[in-house]
Structure 1
Amino acid sequence: MIYMLDTADVNKIRRAYDLYPISGVTTNPTIISKEKSEFIKILKDIREVIGADTMLHVQALGIKAEDIIKEAEYLNKTIGGNLYIKIPVIPEGIKAMKLLKQRGVKITATAIFTADQALMAAMAGADYVAPYVNRIDNISGDGVGVVAEIRELFDIYGLDAKILAASFKNVQQVHNVALAGGHSVTVNPEIMDALLSHPLTDWSIDQFINDWGTVYGKDKLSSDVK
């Protein structure tokens, strides 16, 4: 499983990158706008935290292929590093994917709600496809089921594109996506923390500490005792 963090909050990225096996950061225009700061500065700050080799997924604005391509080239030149350009699965977006793939640009197809959208994006050259799990559920669909269908289609046709499942409300959805064969997930910092959270884990740690402290002293490590 490839874990990515879905935020543009540099402080939260720094914390999660320090603690967890984070392989990348994903953003979108909505996430970026919440930071209320200069767009390029936000991206450069994120790049500084995660380094040049870590994946950074940034969405190209525009709904015409030529505008998407212009944005993609600008972002690659300005931000650099291991950058993936997010492009929505609209007809002009698919056109842009085909052309950008020829130029060696890394692509993440986004705003995916059906397996057919993901398949076409992969055939157009997308490296990652991002189905919106919870948003599919919210329209009486089956987000995890769509992930499973995408995985089946990719396996049938031997495609190298990876599923980057997005839009999660809870840990259970992330768990079900993993069982369905999703290659990667992008989650907000709260869900990233929740993936490890369990009251019995906390209880067990407290019990270990209390029992150790009773005999060897509170706050002492094994290297402190003889």
Structure 2
Amino acid sequence: MMKLLVDSANLSQIKKLKNIFPVTGVTTNPSILAKESLLPQESLKEVNHLLGPNEEFHVQVLSENAIEMKEEAYRLLDNYRDSLYVKIPVSEQGYKAIGMLSKEGVRVTATAVFTVQQGILASLAGADYIAPYVNRIDNHNADGIELISKLSSFFEKEQIETKILAASFKNTKQIEDALLHGAYSVTAPPSLVREMGSHTGTSDAIKGFKNDYSQAFK
């Protein structure tokens, strides 16, 4: 089943979105945490409390060495939830850490994926999710949606269980295209989640319904 996650650590925004839209989890990274007024540990703690037992929480490590990544992953699991997805960037040390953690049953999201090859290597290492950065891929003169399509086809052909969690969007068209081309799930900032659910045509229609009714039954 497709999932919609919020890419944010802003508590008020996450609360609002969860009350309106079918949000199934939250993703964060160090850059997102740096934007909030709370200390990173406090932000993560509060976000964790907002999530239900079946909702996903993806948190990224800061360490760059595989052993240290593994140690940090277990600290995150101790502090938050057993169902946490530990985000590991796809560096050489990252692949090693993904392999170690996946063998021990830790759920891993391979992040900062920019090429098909990186996605394949991360899946072979045992990642549960891979997170291609759609808009950033486009900014590097490649095609983020094409990458998703290729990986989705490859995973399906080879019966690979790794799922695609598409990330890094600048507009809702990219989100739509990612889902239509094989992304299992997407994570988007609050502004784009709200934009997905709105349209001027809908607003105009609602006003028209009310106006027509009022005119007929004065």
Corresponding letter in the other structure for 2:193? M
User: Partners in 1 of 2:141 and 2:95 — Cα distance?
Assistant: 26
Give the distance between the partners of 1:28 and 1:98, measured in 2 at CA. 21
CA distance in 2: counterparts of 1:70 and 1:163, whole angstroms:
25
Alpha-carbon distance, 1:52 to partner: 3.2
Percent of paired sites with the same residue: 39
Shift, 1:207, TM fit: 0.9
Q: CA deviation at 1:216?
A: 5.2
**How far, CA to CA, are the matches of 2:152 and 2:44 in structure 1?**
31
- Could you say what the CA RMSD is over the residues aligned between the two structures, in angstroms? 1.2
- Structure 1: runs of 5+ lacking an equivalent: 218-226
Aligned partners of 1:128 and 1:164 also within 8 Å: yes
How many angstroms apart in 2 are the aligned matches of 1:63 and 1:43?
20
For 1:164, the aligned partner's letter is L
1:123 aligned partner, one-letter code: L
- Equivalent residues in 2 for 1:43-122, closer than 5 Å: 43-122=44-123
List, as ranges, runs of 4+ consecutive aligned residues in structure 1 with deviation greater than 4 Å. Answer: none
- Larger deviation: 185-194 or 39-48? 39-48
Instruction: Return the alpha-carbon distance in structure 1 between the equivalents of residues 37 and 67 of structure 2.
Output: 27
Q: Where does residue 37 of structure 1 map in the other structure?
A: 38
The aligned counterpart of 2:197 is 196
* Deviations, residues 191-210 of structure 1 (Å, cap 9, x unaligned): 10111221111100111122
1:26 is matched with 27
Aligned partner of 1:221 in structure 2 is none
**Which ranges in structure 2 are unaligned for 5 or more consecutive residues?**
none
Residue 109 of structure 1: SS of its match in structure 2?
Answer: strand
Separation in structure 2 between the aligned mates of residue 195 and residue 184 of structure 1, nearest angstrom: 14
1:47 deviates by 1.4
Partner of residue 140, structure 2 = 139
The separation in 2 between residues aligned to 1:10 and 1:50, in whole angstroms, is 11
Q: The residue matched to 2:62 in structure 1 has which SS?
A: coil
Matched, 1:130 2:131: yes
Structure 1 residue 59: Cα displacement = 0.1
**1:210–1:134 Cα change, 3 Å:** same
**Structure 2 match to 1:8:** 9
Question: Is the 1:52–1:81 Cα contact (8 Å) retained in structure 2?
Answer: no
SS in 2 for 1:97: helix
Paired amino acid for 1:49: L
**Whole-angstrom distance in 2 between the partners of 1:215 and 1:93:** 66
Cα deviation code 1:122-170 (max 9, x no counterpart): 1111000000000011111101011111101111211111100000000
Instruction: Classify 1:115/1:147 alpha carbon distance in 2 versus 1 (closer, same or farther; 3 Å).
Output: same
2:24 counterpart SS class:
strand
Q: Residue 170 of structure 2 aligns with which residue?
A: 169
* Distance in 1 of aligned mates of 2:30 and 2:201: 39
Maintained 8 Å contact 1:86/1:110: yes
The secondary structure found in structure 2 opposite 1:22 is coil
Query: Which 10-residue stretch deviates more, 117-126 or 46-55?
Result: 46-55
Measured after TM superposition, the shift of residue 215 of structure 1 is 4.5
Q: What SS does structure 2 have at the residue aligned with 1:119?
A: helix
**2:66 counterpart letter in structure 1:** A
Query: How far apart, in 1, do the equivalents of 2:124 and 2:37 lie?
Result: 36
**Which AA in structure 2 matches 1:102?**
K
Kindly tell me the number of residue pairs found equivalent between the two proteins. Answer: 217
